[in-house]
Amino acid sequence: MIYVLGSINKDISVEVEQLPKKGETVIADSCESGLGGKGANQAVAIARLGGDRSGRKPAVKFIGHVGKDLAGEELLQKLAEFGVDTEFVSKVNRPTGTAIVTISGKDNRIMVYSGANSGITKSDVDEALNYATENDTLLCQLEVPLYIVAYALRKARSIGMTTILNPAPAKTLPDDLYYNVDIIVPNETETKILTGINPTDSASQNAAIEKFHAFGVPYVVITLGARGAAISDGARLAAHIPACKTSVVDTTGAGDTFVGALALTYPHIGMYSFKEACTFATRAAALSVSRRGASESIPTFDEVCKFYCKDI
Ligand code: ATP
Ligand code: RIB
Protein backbone atom coordinates (compact mmCIF):
# COMPACT_ATOMS: atom_id res chain seq x y z
CA MET A 1 0.00 0.00 0.00
CA ILE A 2 1.22 3.51 -0.80
CA TYR A 3 -0.14 6.31 1.38
CA VAL A 4 0.03 9.79 -0.13
CA LEU A 5 -0.25 12.69 2.32
CA GLY A 6 -0.78 15.92 0.44
CA SER A 7 -2.74 18.58 -1.36
CA ILE A 8 -5.77 18.45 -3.62
CA ASN A 9 -6.23 21.56 -5.76
CA LYS A 10 -8.55 22.75 -8.43
CA ASP A 11 -6.09 23.86 -11.14
CA ILE A 12 -7.20 26.75 -13.30
CA SER A 13 -4.73 26.74 -16.19
CA VAL A 14 -4.53 29.78 -18.43
CA GLU A 15 -2.36 29.76 -21.55
CA VAL A 16 -0.97 33.06 -22.78
CA GLU A 17 1.51 33.98 -25.47
CA GLN A 18 3.22 36.54 -23.23
CA LEU A 19 2.80 36.94 -19.49
CA PRO A 20 1.33 40.36 -18.66
CA LYS A 21 3.64 43.06 -17.37
CA LYS A 22 2.70 45.05 -14.26
CA GLY A 23 -0.57 46.90 -14.92
CA GLU A 24 -1.10 45.16 -18.28
CA THR A 25 -4.03 42.93 -19.33
CA VAL A 26 -3.51 40.19 -21.91
CA ILE A 27 -6.06 37.94 -23.60
CA ALA A 28 -5.51 34.23 -22.92
CA ASP A 29 -5.47 31.60 -25.65
CA SER A 30 -7.16 28.95 -23.47
CA CYS A 31 -8.48 28.40 -19.97
CA GLU A 32 -9.10 24.96 -18.51
CA SER A 33 -9.72 23.58 -15.07
CA GLY A 34 -8.88 20.16 -13.68
CA LEU A 35 -7.62 18.05 -10.80
CA GLY A 36 -4.26 19.20 -9.45
CA GLY A 37 -2.28 19.58 -6.28
CA LYS A 38 1.09 17.90 -5.89
CA GLY A 39 -0.34 15.22 -3.62
CA ALA A 40 -3.29 14.44 -5.87
CA ASN A 41 -1.14 14.36 -9.03
CA GLN A 42 1.35 11.96 -7.44
CA ALA A 43 -1.43 9.68 -6.19
CA VAL A 44 -3.00 9.68 -9.67
CA ALA A 45 0.39 8.81 -11.18
CA ILE A 46 0.66 5.80 -8.88
CA ALA A 47 -2.89 4.68 -9.71
CA ARG A 48 -2.59 5.24 -13.51
CA LEU A 49 0.86 3.74 -13.88
CA GLY A 50 0.11 0.81 -11.63
CA GLY A 51 -3.43 0.12 -12.74
CA ASP A 52 -3.19 -1.08 -16.32
CA ARG A 53 -0.38 -3.54 -15.81
CA SER A 54 -2.20 -6.05 -13.67
CA GLY A 55 -5.71 -5.07 -14.69
CA ARG A 56 -6.26 -4.11 -11.07
CA LYS A 57 -5.81 -0.70 -9.49
CA PRO A 58 -2.86 -0.52 -7.12
CA ALA A 59 -3.56 0.28 -3.52
CA VAL A 60 -2.98 4.01 -3.12
CA LYS A 61 -4.69 5.74 -0.24
CA PHE A 62 -4.87 9.51 -0.03
CA ILE A 63 -4.66 11.46 3.23
CA GLY A 64 -5.99 14.99 2.76
CA HIS A 65 -8.77 17.55 2.86
CA VAL A 66 -11.15 19.16 0.38
CA GLY A 67 -13.79 21.77 1.11
CA LYS A 68 -17.50 21.09 1.44
CA ASP A 69 -18.04 22.79 -1.92
CA LEU A 70 -18.69 21.88 -5.53
CA ALA A 71 -14.98 21.86 -6.40
CA GLY A 72 -14.26 19.51 -3.49
CA GLU A 73 -17.02 17.17 -4.59
CA GLU A 74 -15.81 17.12 -8.21
CA LEU A 75 -12.13 16.64 -7.35
CA LEU A 76 -12.89 13.83 -4.93
CA GLN A 77 -14.91 12.09 -7.61
CA LYS A 78 -12.07 12.51 -10.14
CA LEU A 79 -9.53 11.11 -7.70
CA ALA A 80 -11.71 8.06 -7.16
CA GLU A 81 -12.26 7.65 -10.93
CA PHE A 82 -8.48 7.62 -11.41
CA GLY A 83 -8.31 4.74 -8.92
CA VAL A 84 -7.20 6.53 -5.76
CA ASP A 85 -8.74 5.38 -2.48
CA THR A 86 -10.29 8.49 -0.88
CA GLU A 87 -11.43 6.90 2.39
CA PHE A 88 -9.06 9.19 4.33
CA VAL A 89 -9.95 12.42 2.54
CA SER A 90 -12.18 14.60 4.74
CA LYS A 91 -14.58 17.31 3.62
CA VAL A 92 -14.06 20.35 5.81
CA ASN A 93 -15.42 23.85 6.33
CA ARG A 94 -12.77 25.65 4.28
CA PRO A 95 -12.69 26.28 0.55
CA THR A 96 -11.06 23.61 -1.58
CA GLY A 97 -7.44 24.41 -2.51
CA THR A 98 -7.01 26.27 -5.79
CA ALA A 99 -4.02 26.75 -8.07
CA ILE A 100 -3.76 29.39 -10.78
CA VAL A 101 -1.42 28.03 -13.42
CA THR A 102 -0.18 30.35 -16.17
CA ILE A 103 1.43 28.63 -19.13
CA SER A 104 3.53 30.56 -21.60
CA GLY A 105 5.57 28.55 -24.08
CA LYS A 106 7.66 26.02 -22.15
CA ASP A 107 7.29 27.85 -18.83
CA ASN A 108 4.66 27.68 -16.17
CA ARG A 109 4.04 29.79 -13.09
CA ILE A 110 1.80 28.59 -10.30
CA MET A 111 0.07 30.37 -7.42
CA VAL A 112 -1.58 28.16 -4.83
CA TYR A 113 -4.30 29.05 -2.35
CA SER A 114 -4.05 26.21 0.17
CA GLY A 115 -7.57 26.47 1.63
CA ALA A 116 -8.70 23.09 2.97
CA ASN A 117 -5.20 21.60 2.50
CA SER A 118 -3.88 23.71 5.36
CA GLY A 119 -6.20 22.11 7.93
CA ILE A 120 -4.90 18.52 7.87
CA THR A 121 -4.36 17.28 11.42
CA LYS A 122 -2.24 14.74 13.25
CA SER A 123 -5.35 12.67 13.90
CA ASP A 124 -5.98 12.46 10.13
CA VAL A 125 -2.51 10.91 9.84
CA ASP A 126 -3.03 8.63 12.86
CA GLU A 127 -6.33 7.36 11.53
CA ALA A 128 -4.96 6.64 8.06
CA LEU A 129 -1.74 4.96 9.20
CA ASN A 130 -3.49 2.89 11.85
CA TYR A 131 -3.20 -0.31 9.82
CA ALA A 132 -0.01 0.55 7.92
CA THR A 133 2.88 -1.93 8.09
CA GLU A 134 6.58 -2.00 7.25
CA ASN A 135 5.67 -3.17 3.74
CA ASP A 136 3.93 0.12 3.01
CA THR A 137 5.21 3.45 1.72
CA LEU A 138 4.43 7.02 2.78
CA LEU A 139 4.84 9.72 0.12
CA CYS A 140 4.70 13.43 1.11
CA GLN A 141 5.23 16.85 -0.46
CA LEU A 142 5.20 20.28 1.21
CA GLU A 143 1.82 21.70 0.14
CA VAL A 144 0.32 20.77 3.52
CA PRO A 145 1.59 22.09 6.89
CA LEU A 146 5.24 21.22 7.49
CA TYR A 147 4.65 20.05 11.07
CA ILE A 148 2.10 17.52 9.79
CA VAL A 149 4.58 16.22 7.20
CA ALA A 150 7.26 15.95 9.90
CA TYR A 151 4.81 14.12 12.18
CA ALA A 152 3.73 11.70 9.44
CA LEU A 153 7.31 10.91 8.43
CA ARG A 154 8.22 10.26 12.08
CA LYS A 155 5.23 8.00 12.54
CA ALA A 156 5.89 6.15 9.27
CA ARG A 157 9.50 5.60 10.31
CA SER A 158 8.39 4.23 13.69
CA ILE A 159 6.17 1.72 11.82
CA GLY A 160 9.10 0.80 9.55
CA MET A 161 7.45 2.11 6.37
CA THR A 162 9.49 3.39 3.42
CA THR A 163 9.31 7.19 3.29
CA ILE A 164 9.60 9.42 0.24
CA LEU A 165 9.68 13.22 0.33
CA ASN A 166 9.23 15.51 -2.65
CA PRO A 167 10.19 18.80 -0.92
CA ALA A 168 7.95 20.96 -3.12
CA PRO A 169 7.34 23.80 -2.90
CA ALA A 170 10.69 24.26 -1.18
CA LYS A 171 10.90 25.37 2.44
CA THR A 172 13.76 25.17 4.87
CA LEU A 173 13.43 21.86 6.66
CA PRO A 174 14.28 21.03 10.28
CA ASP A 175 17.42 18.84 10.52
CA ASP A 176 15.64 15.97 12.25
CA LEU A 177 13.07 15.65 9.45
CA TYR A 178 15.73 14.36 7.05
CA TYR A 179 16.47 11.40 9.32
CA ASN A 180 12.98 10.06 8.65
CA VAL A 181 13.29 10.25 4.85
CA ASP A 182 14.50 7.28 2.80
CA ILE A 183 14.22 8.88 -0.65
CA ILE A 184 14.24 12.63 -1.36
CA VAL A 185 13.24 13.95 -4.81
CA PRO A 186 13.83 17.72 -5.18
CA ASN A 187 13.97 19.66 -8.44
CA GLU A 188 16.74 22.17 -9.20
CA THR A 189 15.15 25.11 -7.37
CA GLU A 190 14.37 23.02 -4.31
CA THR A 191 17.91 21.61 -4.31
CA LYS A 192 19.36 25.12 -4.35
CA ILE A 193 17.14 26.26 -1.48
CA LEU A 194 17.76 23.15 0.65
CA THR A 195 21.51 22.68 0.06
CA GLY A 196 22.65 26.13 -1.04
CA ILE A 197 24.10 24.51 -4.18
CA ASN A 198 22.77 25.26 -7.66
CA PRO A 199 22.92 21.86 -9.46
CA THR A 200 23.97 23.19 -12.86
CA ASP A 201 26.64 20.63 -13.79
CA SER A 202 27.71 17.19 -12.65
CA ALA A 203 30.16 18.54 -10.04
CA SER A 204 27.53 20.74 -8.37
CA GLN A 205 24.91 17.98 -8.68
CA ASN A 206 27.23 15.55 -6.90
CA ALA A 207 28.01 18.15 -4.24
CA ALA A 208 24.29 18.71 -3.61
CA ILE A 209 23.66 14.97 -3.50
CA GLU A 210 26.45 14.58 -0.93
CA LYS A 211 24.81 17.29 1.19
CA PHE A 212 21.52 15.39 1.21
CA HIS A 213 23.39 12.22 2.19
CA ALA A 214 25.12 14.17 4.97
CA PHE A 215 21.68 15.33 6.17
CA GLY A 216 20.90 11.61 6.61
CA VAL A 217 18.95 10.73 3.44
CA PRO A 218 20.11 7.46 1.80
CA TYR A 219 18.54 7.84 -1.66
CA VAL A 220 18.64 11.12 -3.60
CA VAL A 221 17.08 12.00 -6.96
CA ILE A 222 17.53 15.55 -8.26
CA THR A 223 15.20 16.14 -11.20
CA LEU A 224 16.70 18.46 -13.79
CA GLY A 225 13.80 19.20 -16.15
CA ALA A 226 14.74 18.61 -19.79
CA ARG A 227 18.19 17.47 -18.59
CA GLY A 228 16.78 14.41 -16.78
CA ALA A 229 17.83 13.46 -13.27
CA ALA A 230 20.92 12.96 -11.12
CA ILE A 231 20.56 10.01 -8.77
CA SER A 232 22.48 8.37 -5.94
CA ASP A 233 21.87 5.52 -3.53
CA GLY A 234 24.64 6.77 -1.27
CA ALA A 235 26.64 3.59 -1.70
CA ARG A 236 27.39 2.01 -5.05
CA LEU A 237 25.33 4.04 -7.47
CA ALA A 238 25.65 7.62 -8.69
CA ALA A 239 24.27 8.19 -12.17
CA HIS A 240 22.73 10.66 -14.57
CA ILE A 241 19.48 9.59 -16.26
CA PRO A 242 18.92 11.63 -19.44
CA ALA A 243 15.43 12.95 -20.14
CA CYS A 244 13.51 11.47 -23.08
CA LYS A 245 13.11 13.73 -26.09
CA THR A 246 9.56 14.96 -26.40
CA SER A 247 7.54 17.86 -27.75
CA VAL A 248 6.74 20.11 -24.82
CA VAL A 249 3.06 21.04 -24.51
CA ASP A 250 2.69 21.66 -20.76
CA THR A 251 5.24 20.78 -18.07
CA THR A 252 2.74 21.16 -15.20
CA GLY A 253 2.88 17.97 -13.16
CA ALA A 254 6.05 16.56 -14.80
CA GLY A 255 7.74 16.39 -11.42
CA ASP A 256 4.64 14.82 -9.86
CA THR A 257 4.49 12.16 -12.56
CA PHE A 258 8.18 11.40 -11.96
CA VAL A 259 7.73 11.14 -8.19
CA GLY A 260 4.57 8.99 -8.42
CA ALA A 261 6.23 6.66 -10.94
CA LEU A 262 9.27 6.29 -8.70
CA ALA A 263 7.16 5.65 -5.59
CA LEU A 264 5.24 2.96 -7.46
CA THR A 265 8.16 1.12 -9.02
CA TYR A 266 10.71 1.49 -6.25
CA PRO A 267 10.23 0.24 -3.61
CA HIS A 268 6.55 -0.74 -3.87
CA ILE A 269 6.68 -3.19 -6.76
CA GLY A 270 10.23 -4.17 -5.93
CA MET A 271 10.88 -5.55 -9.41
CA TYR A 272 12.96 -2.57 -10.55
CA SER A 273 16.34 -1.48 -9.29
CA PHE A 274 16.62 2.13 -8.14
CA LYS A 275 18.17 3.15 -11.46
CA GLU A 276 15.53 1.27 -13.48
CA ALA A 277 12.76 2.89 -11.47
CA CYS A 278 14.24 6.35 -12.19
CA THR A 279 14.46 5.50 -15.90
CA PHE A 280 10.81 4.45 -15.89
CA ALA A 281 9.90 7.68 -14.06
CA THR A 282 11.79 9.73 -16.67
CA ARG A 283 9.77 8.10 -19.46
CA ALA A 284 6.44 8.60 -17.71
CA ALA A 285 7.33 12.27 -17.01
CA ALA A 286 8.28 12.88 -20.66
CA LEU A 287 4.88 11.65 -21.78
CA SER A 288 3.15 13.91 -19.26
CA VAL A 289 5.09 16.90 -20.65
CA SER A 290 3.73 16.18 -24.14
CA ARG A 291 0.14 16.62 -22.91
CA ARG A 292 -1.91 19.39 -21.37
CA GLY A 293 -2.98 19.45 -17.72
CA ALA A 294 -1.67 18.10 -14.43
CA SER A 295 -3.33 14.80 -13.41
CA GLU A 296 -4.99 14.52 -16.83
CA SER A 297 -1.58 14.39 -18.54
CA ILE A 298 -0.30 11.39 -16.58
CA PRO A 299 0.13 8.27 -18.74
CA THR A 300 -0.79 4.67 -17.97
CA PHE A 301 1.82 1.91 -17.71
CA ASP A 302 0.78 0.59 -21.14
CA GLU A 303 1.24 4.03 -22.71
CA VAL A 304 4.76 4.28 -21.28
CA CYS A 305 5.57 0.81 -22.66
CA LYS A 306 4.07 1.68 -26.06
CA PHE A 307 6.17 4.83 -26.48
CA TYR A 308 9.35 3.50 -24.95
CA CYS A 309 9.24 -0.20 -25.73
CA LYS A 310 12.98 -0.74 -25.22
CA ASP A 311 13.77 -2.67 -22.07
CA ILE A 312 14.84 -0.69 -19.09
P1 ATP B 1 6.91 20.66 -12.53
O2 ATP B 1 6.95 21.62 -11.37
O3 ATP B 1 6.89 21.33 -13.88
O4 ATP B 1 5.92 19.58 -12.38
P5 ATP B 1 9.46 19.91 -11.50
O6 ATP B 1 10.15 21.23 -11.51
O7 ATP B 1 9.00 19.37 -10.21
O8 ATP B 1 8.30 19.88 -12.56
P9 ATP B 1 11.39 18.89 -13.36
O10 ATP B 1 12.76 18.62 -12.87
O11 ATP B 1 11.17 20.10 -14.20
O12 ATP B 1 10.41 18.80 -12.12
O13 ATP B 1 10.90 17.65 -14.23
C14 ATP B 1 10.71 16.35 -13.67
C15 ATP B 1 11.10 15.32 -14.70
O16 ATP B 1 10.23 15.45 -15.83
C17 ATP B 1 12.51 15.45 -15.25
O18 ATP B 1 13.44 14.77 -14.42
C19 ATP B 1 12.37 14.84 -16.62
O20 ATP B 1 12.51 13.44 -16.51
C21 ATP B 1 10.94 15.18 -17.02
N22 ATP B 1 10.91 16.40 -17.85
C23 ATP B 1 10.68 17.67 -17.46
N24 ATP B 1 10.76 18.54 -18.49
C25 ATP B 1 11.03 17.78 -19.58
C26 ATP B 1 11.23 18.06 -20.97
N27 ATP B 1 11.17 19.31 -21.45
N28 ATP B 1 11.48 17.01 -21.80
C29 ATP B 1 11.54 15.73 -21.33
N30 ATP B 1 11.36 15.41 -20.04
C31 ATP B 1 11.12 16.41 -19.17
O1 RIB C 1 3.08 20.27 -9.38
C2 RIB C 1 2.00 20.80 -10.09
C3 RIB C 1 0.93 21.19 -9.12
O4 RIB C 1 1.39 22.25 -8.30
C5 RIB C 1 -0.32 21.75 -9.79
O6 RIB C 1 -1.24 20.74 -10.11
C7 RIB C 1 -0.83 22.77 -8.78
O8 RIB C 1 -2.02 22.40 -8.17
C9 RIB C 1 0.29 22.93 -7.75
O10 RIB C 1 -0.01 22.31 -6.58
pLDDT by residue (tens digit) across 101-134? Answer: 999 988 889 999 999 999 999 999 999 999 999 9
% of the chain with per-residue pLDDT over 70: 96
The amino acid that residue 143 corresponds to is E
Mean pLDDT of the region 285-306: 92
Is residue 244 classed as helix, strand or coil in its secondary structure? coil
138 forms beta bridges with 3, 163
Name the DSSP letter for residue 27: -
Contact 60, 72 (CB under 8 A): no
- Report whether pLDDT(55) > 80: no
- Report whether pLDDT(271) > 90: no
Whether 42 is in the pocket of ligand 2, judged by its Cβ within 6 Å, is no
> What per-residue confidence (pLDDT) applies to 113?
97
Confidence of residue 309 (pLDDT cuts 50, 70, 90): low
> What per-residue confidence (pLDDT) applies to 272?
86
Pick the residue with more confidence: 237 or 188? Answer: 188
Contact 179, 206 (CB under 8 A): no
> What per-residue confidence (pLDDT) applies to 53?
54
List, in sequence order, the alpha helices (H) in 10-145: 38-54, 70-81, 122-128
Mean pLDDT of the region 1-25: 95
Beta strands 60-67; 219-223: pairing state: unpaired
What residues are annotated to the active site?
A: 256
Mean pLDDT of the region 128-151: 97
**Which run of H or E residues covers position 188?**
helix 188-195
- The minimum-distance atom of ligand 2 relative to the CA of 294 is 6
The CA radius of gyration of the chain, in Å to the nearest whole number, is 18
Contact 83, 23 (CB under 8 A): no
Average pLDDT value over all residues in the chain: 93
Whether 253 is in the pocket of ligand 2, judged by its Cβ within 6 Å, is yes
- Report whether pLDDT(52) > 70: no
Contact 199, 224 (CB under 8 A): yes
Name the DSSP letter for residue 160: T
- The minimum-distance atom of ligand 1 relative to the CA of 244 is 29
Which residue, by CA, sits nearest to atom 14 of ligand 1? 255
List the Cα angle 194/200/204 in 5-degree steps.
65
Say whether the peptide bond before residue 267 is cis (omega within 30 degrees of 0): yes
* pTM score: 0.96
Which residue, by CA, sits nearest to atom 6 of ligand 2? 36
Confidence of residue 260 (pLDDT cuts 50, 70, 90): very high
Whether 36 is in the pocket of ligand 2, judged by its Cβ within 6 Å, is yes
Alpha-carbon span 191 to 231, nearest angstrom: 13
> What per-residue confidence (pLDDT) applies to 179?
96
136 forms beta bridges with none
